[in-house]
């Protein structure tokens, strides 16, 4: 090979560290990049036993994770090793018992019966508001289908009886560390905001910071009790008064009561370690709340209207599609701005008025009144709980609700649509509270133009504006403007901890494989040049190595994403399927693939294809569910000053 070609071949490969050479067993000093070229050393006749690269790596500490210990508690060696694995890491777990597996096969059998019973409606889109009824069975049974189900159910049961799946146990030192951190009453463990890492705080510090945030009387107020009965009655009355506008399925969906009963929205906070001093981002959990279903229904109705707004931006991928063909004037510059604390800053009266004005042309009068009434009820009576104290949010909306995102976006869209078009504004788009635009005037003229956000809301909306003639970060992009032409680079925040899922985590191997491929595709779309893509590949390779990924596994997946497919990735997006698939749910452990469920489902599908009345049923596939992660053991979103339960 020519030396120049050899150098280009080397540079096109990710960088290697000393640890990587030792892993590969090649330390040739003459050819430091020998893992990617032919080895010039003599091969030994003695073959070393090869170990599978998916063996557990828990004995080897995973580096590169960031632990931000802001408490007075000193983490032990094993506790730090446990947190270095990341909160998404799944520790070894025992396989599910045969009884659970047989119940999942019964669920699969029910799905097959439903596919045959509703074969005429199989191509119709799914109704998102239809509540499931797991106890309902088709009234008639198709005998050939029942014989196929019984046949493979018997084979599955016999396979389970023959197999002896041994329990998988957590290493002793990690189990002790997990128990120690879980039973520690002095500290609280939370994921930091912006993917910065794991944060360890004193419980008292966390409590004082949250109470200080909730002491803002303009946004929150303490109430003595939660008026559940009154609100439930008002919600039923609104739904009953609009039964002509709502379908029966939609009405039942909105009024659906969970089996555990209604609960007050739980409030928790994520530490903002990138702020000085440290701040907290409030998150409200709507699970099992009174307005959970109402919020989802409102989101479904308002989302099509948001998609029609000219300034709406779906993601950075859509922005690249637009800007690659855009040629701004020579005297223009680019700008970005961020809305400070958007959700709690929206005045309730102005927000509801803007919502009514923007939805009126798209709906009938009755449906407009219904959406307005439900939105007002959701915003006005938003209660949340922290440490068994109930608060009412009297301003803005909470982060965590399905309705909050589309409501905030439509409010800003209304403000922007109410302004006459400015001749200096060449291009403008916005992703929730982050906006990007092209301006041909001066910076002072731009700031004066954007003052309408403040004046229209009585100074409730505040912006942080950034301008540049050539280069700015926006979302996960570096947007470059040169000679009236745009180019892009991948933007990664300096505080990012790159806490990728460790290779030792008990996740399916194909999930880790697709994670690498999809991340490379994301880099490929956001890098305009082969050199930039090559740089990101090298950085990604190094970060994967520090998370325990074998080099051979990484290189195998790197081959699937060449730079030449960039255009096809940018301008082609696969539509999401709306059809109900046929799945077999199975909790993944390292030994569950030994059951051979893939072969059983394959043979089942082959039998279905032999019958013309069953050939329309798609092939069943396995849906792997995950076991408990470190996050589920250590992170508790519901704050209690009492001692936590012991680890079982």
In this predicted model, what pLDDT tens digit does every residue of 175-190 receive, in sequence order?
Answer: 999 999 999 999 999 9
Model pTM score: 0.85
Q: Are 270 and 188 in contact (CB under 8 A)?
A: no
Distance, CA of 334 to CA of 429 (rounded, Å): 12
Phi/psi at 196 (5° precision): -85, -25
Tell me how far apart the terminal alpha carbons of the chain are, to the nearest angstrom. 61
pLDDT number for residue 122: 62
Report whether pLDDT(59) > 70: no
Report whether pLDDT(47) > 50: no
Distance, CA of 636 to CA of 622 (rounded, Å): 30
Distance, CA of 438 to CA of 335 (rounded, Å): 6
Instruction: Name the least confident of 40-49, 461-470, 528-537, 558-567.
Output: 40-49
For every residue of 359-403, DSSP letters joined together read HGGGS-HHHHHHHHHHHHHHHHTEEEEETTEEEEE-SS--TT-HH
Distance, CA of 614 to CA of 612 (rounded, Å): 5
Q: What is the pLDDT of residues 194-210, one digit of tens each?
A: 888 899 999 999 999 88
Q: Are 271 and 190 in contact (CB under 8 A)?
A: yes
Q: Strands 67-69 and 198-202, how do they pair?
A: parallel
Q: Which residue has the higher pLDDT, 325 or 28?
A: 325
Q: Region 324-349: what's the mean pLDDT? A: 91
Token pair recorded at residue 488: 């892009």
* pLDDT-above-70 percentage for the chain: 88
Token pair recorded at residue 600: 């059983």
Q: Are 335 and 467 in contact (CB under 8 A)?
A: yes
Q: Are 635 and 269 in contact (CB under 8 A)?
A: no
Q: Region 287-310: what's the mean pLDDT? A: 94
* Beta bridge mates, 490: 477
Q: What is the pLDDT of residues 90-112, one digit of tens each?
A: 988 888 888 899 999 999 999 99
Q: Which residue has the higher pLDDT, 61 or 128?
A: 128
Report whether pLDDT(530) > 90: yes
Q: Cα 30 to the chain's mean position, in Å?
A: 45
Report whether pLDDT(432) > 60: yes
Distance, CA of 189 to CA of 177 (rounded, Å): 14
In the sheet with 389-393, reading across from the earlier edge strand, the strands are: 220-222, 389-393, 382-386, 265-272, 279-285
- What integer best gives the mean pLDDT of the chain? 85
Report whether pLDDT(134) > 90: no
Q: What is the pLDDT of residues 600-616, one digit of tens each?
A: 999 999 999 999 999 98
At 123, the pLDDT band (50, 70, 90 cuts) reads low
At 218, the pLDDT band (50, 70, 90 cuts) reads confident
Nearest Cα neighbor of 625 from 580, 583, 595, 582 is 583
Give 327's DSSP letter.
-
Report whether pLDDT(8) > 70: no
At 577, the pLDDT band (50, 70, 90 cuts) reads low
Q: Region 460-486: what's the mean pLDDT? A: 93
Residue showing tokens 């005037």: 441
| 549-567 b/e (C-beta count within 10 Å ≥ 16 → b) | bbbebbeebbeebeeeebe
Q: Are 268 and 391 in contact (CB under 8 A)?
A: no
CA dist 597 → 104, 107, 511, 593, 617 (Å): 12, 15, 18, 7, 18
pLDDT number for residue 554: 95
Report whether pLDDT(4) > 70: no
Distance, CA of 157 to CA of 597 (rounded, Å): 11
Burial class (CB in 10 A: 0-12, 13-18, 19+), 167: exposed
């Amino acid at each position: 090979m020519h030396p120049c070609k050899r150098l280009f071949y080397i540079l096109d490969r990710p960088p290697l560290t000393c640890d990587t050479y030792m892993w590969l067993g090649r330390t040739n000093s003459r050819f430091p990049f020998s893992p990617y070229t032919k080895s010039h050393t003599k091969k030994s006749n003695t073959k070393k036993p090869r170990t599978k690269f998916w063996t557990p790596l828990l004995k080897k500490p995973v580096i590169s994770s960031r632990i931000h210990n802001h408490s007075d508690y000193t983490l032990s060696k094993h506790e730090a090793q446990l947190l270095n694995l990341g909160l998404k890491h799944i520790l070894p777990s025992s396989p599910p018992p045969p009884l659970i597996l047989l119940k999942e096969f019964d669920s699969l059998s029910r799905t097959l019966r439903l596919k045959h019973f509703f074969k005429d409606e199989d191509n119709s889109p799914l109704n998102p508001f239809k509540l499931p009824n797991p106890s309902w069975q088709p009234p008639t049974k198709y005998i050939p289908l029942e014989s196929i189900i019984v046949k493979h159910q018997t084979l599955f049961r016999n396979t389970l009886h023959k197999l002896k799946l041994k329990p998988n146990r957590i290493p002793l030192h990690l189990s002790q560390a997990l128990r120690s951190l879980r039973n520690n009453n002095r500290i609280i463990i939370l994921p930091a905001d912006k993917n910065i890492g794991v944060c360890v705080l004193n419980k008292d510090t966390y409590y004082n910071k949250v109470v200080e945030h909730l002491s803002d009387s303009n946004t929150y107020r303490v109430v003595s009790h939660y008026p559940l009965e009154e609100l439930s009655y008002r919600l039923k009355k609104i739904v009953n008064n609009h039964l002509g506008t709502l379908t029966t399925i939609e009405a039942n969906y909105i009024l659906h009561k969970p089996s555990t009963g209604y609960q007050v929205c739980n409030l928790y906070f994520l530490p903002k370690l990138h702020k000085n001093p440290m701040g907290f981002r409030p998150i409200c959990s709507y699970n099992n709340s009174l307005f959970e279903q109402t919020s989802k229904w409102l989101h479904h109705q308002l989302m099509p209207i948001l998609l029609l707004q000219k300034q709406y931006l779906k993601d950075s991928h859509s922005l690249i599609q637009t800007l690659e063909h855009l040629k701004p004037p020579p005297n223009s510059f680019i700008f970005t701005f961020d809305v400070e604390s958007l959700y709690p800053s929206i005045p309730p009266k102005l927000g509801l008025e803007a919502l009514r004005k923007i939805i009126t042309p798209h709906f009938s009068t009755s449906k407009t009144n219904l959406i307005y009434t439900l939105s007002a009820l959701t915003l006005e009576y938003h209660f949340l709980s922290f440490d068994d104290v109930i608060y009412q949010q009297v301003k803005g909306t909470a982060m965590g609700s399905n309705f909050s995102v589309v409501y905030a976006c439509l409010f800003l869209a209304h403000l922007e649509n109410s302004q006459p078009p400015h001749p200096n504004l060449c291009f403008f788009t916005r992703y929730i509270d982050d906006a990007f635009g092209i301006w041909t005037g001066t910076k002072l003229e731009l700031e004066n133009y954007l003052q309408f956000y403040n004046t229209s809301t009585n100074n409730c909306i505040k912006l942080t504006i950034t301008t540049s003639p050539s280069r700015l970060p926006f979302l996960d992009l570096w947007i470059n403007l040169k000679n009236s032409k745009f180019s892009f680079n991948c933007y990664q925040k300096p505080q990012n901890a790159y806490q990728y899922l460790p290779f030792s985590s008990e996740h399916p191997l194909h999930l880790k494989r697709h994670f690498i491929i999809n991340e490379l595709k994301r880099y490929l779309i956001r890098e305009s040049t082969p050199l930039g893509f090559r740089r990101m590949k090298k950085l990604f390779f190094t970060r994967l190595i520090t998370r325990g990924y074998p080099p051979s596994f990484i290189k195998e997946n790197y081959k699937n994403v060449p730079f030449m497919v960039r255009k096809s990735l940018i301008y082609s997006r696969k539509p999401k399927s709306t059809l109900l698939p046929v799945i077999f749910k199975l909790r993944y452990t390292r030994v569950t693939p030994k059951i051979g469920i893939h072969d059983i489902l394959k043979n089942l599908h082959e039998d279905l294809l032999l019958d013309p009345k069953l050939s329309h049923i798609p092939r069943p596939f396995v849906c792997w569910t995950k076991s408990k992660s470190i996050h589920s053991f250590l992170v508790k979103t519901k704050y209690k000053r009492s001692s936590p339960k012991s680890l079982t």
